Amino acid sequence: MRSRDIKRRQGIKSRPVKNRQKFKSIPLLVKNVLQKSPLARLGAGLAAIKVYTFRAGRSGGRSRGSGEGFAGGDPRESRTPFAKGRSRGVVAGLLGRHSRGGRYLFASSRRNVFGIRELFLRVCVVAALLLVAAVGWRVIRPGVTLRVSADTVAAFRVPHRAIGMLRGYADSHGIPFPELFAVFNAENDFFPEKSASYDLSRLEDMYVTNFRQIFRRYSRRSIAPYAEMFENLFDEIEVFPIPTGWYEHDASVMFGNSWGVEHNFQGNRTHMGTAIIDRENIRGRVPVVSMTAGSVSDAGWCSQLGYFVGVTSRNGTYYLYAHLDSIATGLLVGQNVAAGQLLGQMGNTGGGRGSSNFQVHLHLAIAPDVRFTRGQFWINPYPLLRYIEDRRDV
């Protein structure tokens, strides 16, 4: 009587035996693939050389047959491989097969060969993973992410004298100026407070000498948009918006840092630019020129801005010249202009009516094309104007 019949009569339920081979199919498949890989065959060949050399040394070059080497005995019973058999064994290890001359020795050392092969594969895999991790960390290392508001960046409270000093240090040390200037601002949190008393005596020691170490602390994705903005601004701005013959220290015009000042005229508004004021307060006296080369995007009349001209540079930065008394003759939208080309005459138009009772001045506003914030972004022109002023006086 069968055992299952006896168990059925006694009320014993037999449990089905799990097919272990089924669960081992995936590991066996991986094992077979690894064994057939070129690295595994190379390891097997190296191990075969070691085994043959070891056995040849123990046998002293003699076989169990009637003669020495292959001369008088049966090579199939010999434990000492001859030269041809040894080479066949190495080739067999590389190809994953057994040669006739080295069948016994190679077959008897399969466990040793498999152990070395497995160790060799593990070492290669670990080394490859470490290499990939090192390269990946070098390329996409997280670094320090900048946490600064767009309003703080727009206020642009950097000391204007630091711009020229950093540019000189960048040229002498072979450092990209936009990246150096971006790191300088980032290290100071983009100067959330006014920086009139900032100490510039240790500027080179703190930021230029150790620039590489400081730059590596920041992630490229966080520092690159600011460096790109500074590169565009300092690359495209060429001249002061008032011609040289009209602008001299304390002579014709004056300007200050009026960014963020509240205007109560014709409603409460925040000043998002710099006012360049005519000291003599005469409309149409002082000419206004383009700071950059570009194309005229807007030109005409606006109730708040009066007569105005908008110029877009090749980098996408928008420059607004407002409260003009008049626009230059023949200046049309879409026309290309050069740096220093006449745009109009300074006035006091706008503010809700034709000619306002505020002083004759030029309202200059700059909106660079940036990637660190959405929407239109305006930046304080005052440090840029002072930088141009300092560079022209050199």
Q: How many CB atoms lie within 10 A of CB 104?
A: 17
Residues with Cβ < 8 Å from 319, sequence gap 6 or more? 290, 291, 292, 294, 310, 311, 312, 313, 364, 365, 366
Instruction: Specify whether 277 is located in the same domain as 361.
Output: yes
Q: What is the pLDDT, as a whole number, of residue 220?
A: 80
What kind and span of H or E run contains 306? strand 306-313
* C-alpha Rg value of the chain to the nearest Å: 41
Tens digit of pLDDT at every position of the chain (394 positions)? 555 565 555 555 555 544 444 444 555 655 665 565 665 665 665 555 444 444 444 444 444 444 444 344 444 444 444 344 444 444 444 444 444 444 433 344 444 444 677 777 878 888 888 888 777 665 555 566 778 999 999 999 999 999 999 999 999 999 999 999 999 999 999 998 875 578 888 899 999 999 999 998 888 888 999 999 999 999 999 999 999 776 554 468 899 999 988 876 555 678 899 999 999 999 999 999 999 999 999 999 998 899 999 999 999 999 999 999 999 999 999 999 999 999 999 999 987 655 567 899 999 999 999 999 988 999 999 999 999 988 875 5
Q: Are 292 and 236 in contact (CB under 8 A)?
A: yes
Q: Residue 300: inside a domain, yes or no?
A: yes
User: Are residue 189 and residue 269 in the same domain, yes or no?
Assistant: no
Please tell me whether residues 301 and 186 are part of one structural domain.
no
Q: What is the CATH number of the domain that holds 288?
A: 2.70.70.10
Place of tokens 């693939």: 33
- The predicted pLDDT at position 328 comes to 96
Q: Would you say residue 181 lies in a domain?
A: yes
The helix (H) or strand (E) run that includes residue 25 is helix 25-35
Which residues, at least 6 apart from 342, have a Cβ–Cβ distance to it below 8 Å? 287, 288, 289, 328
Please give the span between the terminal C-alpha atoms of the chain, in angstroms, as a whole number: 114
Q: Let me know if 166 is exposed, middle or buried by CB neighbors in 10 A (0-12, 13-18, 19+).
A: buried
Residue 27 lies in a domain: yes
The pair of three-digit structure tokens given for residue 334, joined into one six-digit string: 């879409």
Torsion of CA 149, 154, 158, 162, to 10 degrees: 120
For residues 376 and 262, membership in a common domain is answered with: yes
* Same domain assignment for residues 44 and 88: yes
**What is the identity of the amino acid at 11?**
G
Contact 178, 231 (CB under 8 A): yes
Helix, strand, coil percentages in the chain from 3-state DSSP, rounded to 5: 45, 15, 40
Based on the domain organization, do 294 and 185 belong to the same domain?
no
- What are 347's two structure tokens? 């006035």
Q: Are residues 207 and 285 in the same domain?
A: no
Where is the domain boundary, 138, 160, 176? 138
Shared domain check, 162 and 119: no
Residue 362 confidence (pLDDT): 95
Does residue 35 form part of some domain?
Answer: yes
Whether 6 is covered by a domain: the verdict is no
Domain that residue 368 falls in: 253-381
For residue 288, which of 234, 334, 326, 233 has the smallest C-alpha distance? 326
Q: What is the pLDDT of residue 299?
A: 96
Quote the number of domains for the chain. 3
- From residue 30, how far is each of 24, 123, 334 by CA, in Å? 10, 17, 67
pLDDT at 199: 83
Shared-domain flag, residues 132 and 33: yes
